[in-house]
Amino acid sequence: MPKNEYGWLKQHKQKGSTYEAKIQSILIRINEENPVDSDLQQLKDIELDKIMDKAQTKIRIANHETGEIIDTIDIALLIKNTDDLTKDAKSKAEAKKAKNYGIIANEVLFGAVPLMTEGGTFLINGSEKVIVSQLIRSPGAYYGLRVRNQQGGDDLFNKLEILPQLGSWIEIFHRVTGNSIDWVKIRLDKNKRVPISVFLRAMGITKETIVNLFGESQVLYNTFAKDKFTTEDEALEGLHRVIRKGDRITDESKRNLISNLLFNEKRYNLSKTGRYMINRKLNLVERLRNSILAEDVKTTTGKVLFAAGTPLSNEDAIEIQKALNSGMIETVGIPNITPEVYGVQINDNPELAERTKIAIVKAYPTKKWMDAGKPALNVIANDPKTTENHIVVSDLVAAISYYFNIMEGLGTDDDADSLINKRIVNVGELLQNQFKIGLTKMEKNAKERMSSKEVDKITPKNITNNKPIYNQFKAFFNSSQLSQFMDQINPLAEISNKRRITSLGPGGLNRDTAQFDVRDVHPTHYGRICPIETPEGPNIGLILNFANYSRINDLGFVETPYFPVKNGVVVTTPTYLSAVQEKGKSFAQSTVTLDKDGRITDEHVTVRKNHNYTIISGKDVDYIDVSSKQVSSVAAACIPFLENDDANRTLMGSNMQRQAVPLLKAEAPFVATGIESEIAKYSAMNVRSTKDGEITFVDSTEIKVKHGSKTKTYNLRTFERSNQGTVISQKPIVKVGQKVKEGEILTDGSSFDSGELSIGKNVLVAFSTWNGFNYEDAIIISERLVKKDVYTSLHIEEYSLQFRKSKAGDDELTTELPNVSSNAKRFLDERGIVSIGSDVSAGDILVGRISPKGEENSTPEEKLIAAIFSQRSKNLKDTSLKVKHGQGGTVINVEILSRDNGDKLEDGVDKIVKVYIAQKRKIKVGDKMAGRHGNKGVISRVLPVEDMPHLPDGTPLDIMLNPLGVPSRMNIGQVLELHLGMAARELGVKFVSPIFDGIKFDDINSALEEANLPTSGKFKLTDPITGKKFDNEVSVGVMYMLKLSHMIDDKMHARSVGPYSLITQQPLGGKSQNGGQRFGEMETWAIESYGATNILQELLTYKSDNIDGRNKVYNSLATGAPVPKAGMPESFNVLAYELRGLGLKLEVEIDNDKQYNEQDTIEGEVE
């Protein structure tokens, strides 16, 4: 079917521009490199040479290698359902033992690290899992002005937080509300607060130096008043008592107190990102911008860069900072501070002696300040040459200087929710962190073993143990919040799951305490994080998705591409910018008009600058967006006419597209956005050619491609079960002899049609009421959709049964099951396993198993007789695998995992039998359907085709939607899609309408006219039941409708006899446990209001927890005897037991001969 492309895509295609190719090259790339492997290469950075001394013995890890990969991904996928395997690589290291200058070298196995598949997932115990990226606050220094305390209260504070990746938090703060002026406190690692002067004196800075550095202020003098110490030694001792509460104070412990806490990289680590953030925050630019110099700024040669009295612009401040970075401006030492402040750390890093130098520039915040004759402020910057991953003295002094500067109006506070201050922790880094933790445990174990062994008997092998690393990875992949079962309902769900970001998890936020500000959309999200796609409910705004073109840089910050504009001409090579790099730049939209040379022709252009919109000349634009869909995620970019929908409904639309089940036959939408084929290109559900070549063989299970002299075989997945029970099946779309290029798609996976994402069907839809059956968004469908299998889907359920060995006896696979009817066993073969092809229903036995009941005290004589006559033990029970309540289908596969076949199984498990049952589900009343615009509903009626209203030409409708679902929801996009879909059907073409730059109203009119359809898009419908026409015209067209995974077959449930709770003796709840419906307090009131006492008594006794009563009722119903009188509910006994626990003896006396009447009483006495 030909495509009509609109908008930006069409405009540049016609002009032969290179833009489209550029966009194709940067679209939706899921990281196909293997970040885990690259992180393993960095292992030498993780303190691998842990030195452990004992009597001249050192164990040192000399080098490491990643060994063989246990399974290739092809094998892993082929036998995914056959074995509970984990794909991993062994990591080995050569450990050396040096003794009396002789070396013993052993190769030691460190453990297995799971490897990433080509699709970006991990195979853990046979299931595909995804590690979700985490969005957390970056390490660095953050300032807050007049912020609330996290503990609550009405007071407002000025605050400085220095956050490391590892180590103690530094918090400096003082109250700014109230009648009195507060004093400045410092809190180290959530300990008790102390005056900041105590901390500075402990480092050796005197009171005079503190005043000279940070200026005279009442806050500072109040701080001195709270400081009772006079010398450095006293201050150190006071700090020691707060930080090392209860520890013995020695001269050495005092001397190394601060250095061990803040200057030791093993205990305090800012990371590469934290160092970048601190150097960026504590430079001169933010504070000198818009200030007035109080002294000349001179170079080391004496040249004056800027004279005193110069008002500084942003560019001037940057120039001064550049001079400082290049060493042109002199740095000075802090008086009274010596390198000894770093304690023992200076022995490992002599360069630390230089890290006590700072740069000082004197400035006035405003002209008014200068004219008033107030003293100039010291603007102190840290040493820009600092590269250490721990904090240094110059950082601390510069940070405190900024704290006092910001009170006087120099500098800016930080926005905690901006992406400038947040970073992404991706898979590689998360795994590297797990490896570090495992390595630390391994080191600890090795030290303990070395201390307990004699020196001669120590070898690298017998003191190292790889269990800690193995267990660390196992725990991470199986129980971490960030390790998730991959969402495999359809390919869009899969690609969205891999591109998901969470603010929750270890080191992240808590959904119960997260405020509105954290969840809100931030201007820095533009082009980096999608403002639309996020869950509804408690996780809203905490779970996010990457925007289409975003990527993560080396420091973990999210970047988005722009085309640079030079003198009004667009440069066709995209530049990626992080949020901080956007400051002060002008960004035009991708829809600006360009001539054939790429010059902006619009005289006035709307641009974004510093999070505000303004209008400027085309020549002054710095960058333009690369695409109109740059702002949204993959799922949101699939919604045509997104710009005509309310944001709340597009959120539902993008979420519901991920829930669409793959149908028997996929059909691409008539109205698309152009991103569907890109999703197919990068989806792991499709097979792509790895090189250029020619197809030499094709069938349903494999494709062979000849690349030069070699032939590569691509194995296809057929009728596999996904994590969510939908079908994964690939069918070839290439022919023998066809030439293919590298990256070209060879197959259509589930929900793909000719290389396009196809999650629904194009059906004829009318916005019309019909006898009230589409009240409250209900949907009326035609029987044609049922009979023709338009919305029929396949679902595969896995049933698994283990056979264990125990002291009481072994489980046995058999057909000889005690007390089981032959009807229930009718599908079993001679082994006791269901035959493939059987149509089974609820209660049928799939695998016959008998198990011992437990302890049996048979006499020796009984055992002998049983052995002579080959009698089975009577203490066996039927523990067979049965089809669950409300389920059934066709058995399509049976697998047996057994120790005899060499399968690795858990201890005590002898074999596992797995049965796969496929279900063909037609669409029916109660199923949930939706469009792409958040227009969802439940099917209320399936009408025969002959009863469906029809068009003037006799074509019956497929679906009727409630017209009241449009105006209040404000998702007009569905109406535009409806009309354009009708034109597409009549013309036999497809329309591609990219979001925010798609088909305009006039274009839809033209398309309708070309198709000889009314431009109103409305038709006179006929009701076939009466033969009359409807009073008014009705909007009819073709809409792309999806069947969602909320199907009535999974939800409909009824119970007659079932299990009861052990304590309350009331029926269990939920379909999975064959439970009952809860009849609660409010429902009881409803029955009471009718005065239906007998029904109420039955509900609260027989049908609930009257044990004797329900057993008697069962007997009387079976025999036809009269129903007995209701007895005491068990819940009363539970209450009585609880009261007895309180010391209240409650006894109930019931006279069985006496009829109950209003005077009956329950006697209770208290002893």
Both tokens of 52, joined, read 């452990």
Cβ-contact 281, 411 below 8 angstroms: no
**What are phi and psi for residue 510, nearest 5 degrees?**
-115, 130
- State the 10-residue block means of pLDDT for the chain, 1167 residues long: 57 33 31 41 39 41 47 32 45 54 69 82 89 95 90 86 93 91 91 91 92 92 91 90 88 88 90 94 93 92 91 93 91 85 81 86 93 93 91 94 94 94 92 88 85 79 84 92 93 94 94 92 96 95 95 94 94 95 94 91 93 93 94 95 95 96 95 93 90 93 91 92 93 94 92 93 96 95 96 95 88 90 91 94 93 73 74 77 90 92 87 94 96 96 96 96 95 96 95 93 94 95 95 96 93 89 89 89 96 94 91 91 90 90 86 51 42
Q: What is the pLDDT of residue 28?
A: 32
Residues 6+ apart with CB under 8 A from 917: 796, 797, 799, 840, 846, 883, 887, 888, 889, 890, 891, 892
**pLDDT at position 585, please?**
94
Q: What's the pLDDT score for residue 903?
A: 84
Helix axes 271-281, 393-407, angle to 10 degrees: 40
CB 813 within 8 A of CB 830: no
Q: How many residues are recorded in the chain?
A: 1167
Outline where 598-675 has alpha helix (H): 647-657
Query: What pLDDT, on a 0 to 100 scale, did the predictor assign at position 874?
Result: 65
**Amino acid at residue number 896:** I
Token output for 455: 């020196």
**Ramachandran angles phi, psi of 511, nearest 5°:** -65, -25
The pLDDT value recorded for residue 960 is 97
pLDDT of residue 265: 86
- Do the Cβ atoms of 126 and 75 come closer than 8 Å? no
> Cβ contacts of residue 446 below 8 Å, gap of 6+?
50, 52, 59, 463, 464, 465
The answer to whether the CB of 614 falls within 8 A of the CB of 981 is: no
Distance CA 164, CA 907 (A): 43
Q: Which residues contact 245 (CB under 8 A, 6 or more apart)?
A: 191
Comparing CA positions, the residue from 993, 677, 871 lying closest to residue 5 is 993
Q: What is the DSSP string of 349-413?
A: -GGGGGTTEEEEEEEES-HHHHHTTPPPEEEEE--TT---SS--HHHHHHHHHHHHHHHTT-S--
HEC profile of 857-909? CCCHHHHHHHHHCCCCCCCEEECCEECCCCCEEEEEEEEEEEHHHCCCCCCCE
Beta strand pairing status for 586-588 and 623-625?
Answer: parallel
Instruction: Say what the pLDDT of residue 49 is.
Output: 38
Going along the chain from its start, the domains and CATH numbers come out as 3-26+506-598+610-626 (2.30.150.10), 35-135+425-485 (3.90.1100.10), 140-411 (3.90.1110.10), 793-919 (2.40.50.150), 1065-1167 (3.90.1800)
Q: What is the pTM of this model?
A: 0.88
Q: How far apart are CA 361 and CA 380, in angstroms?
A: 7
Cβ-count burial 1094-1128 (b if 16+ within 10 Å, e if not)? eebbbebbbbbbbeebbebbeeeeeeeeeeeebbb
pLDDT for residue 860? 79
- Predicted local confidence at residue 38, as pLDDT: 44
What amino acid is encoded at 451 in this protein?
S
Q: Which residue has the tokens 């609330």?
A: 148
Contact residues for 785 (Cβ-Cβ < 8 A; gap 6+)? 763, 791, 923, 958, 959
Q: Which amino acid is at 499?
A: R
Residues 789-821 as b or e (16 or more Cβ within 10 Å = b):
ebbbbbbbbebebbbeeeeebebbbbbebeebe
End-to-end CA distance of the chain, in Å? 88
513 Rama class: left (phi>0) / alpha (psi -120 to 50) / beta: alpha
**Pick from 995, 934, 974, 933: nearest CA to 547:** 995
The pairing of strands 849-852 and 876-878 is antiparallel
CA angle 326, 327, 333 (to 5 degrees): 145
State the burial class of residue 319 (Cβ atoms within 10 Å of its Cβ: 0-12, 13-18, 19+).
Answer: middle
- Provide the pLDDT for residue 344: 80
How many CA within 13 A on the CB side of residue 390?
Answer: 21
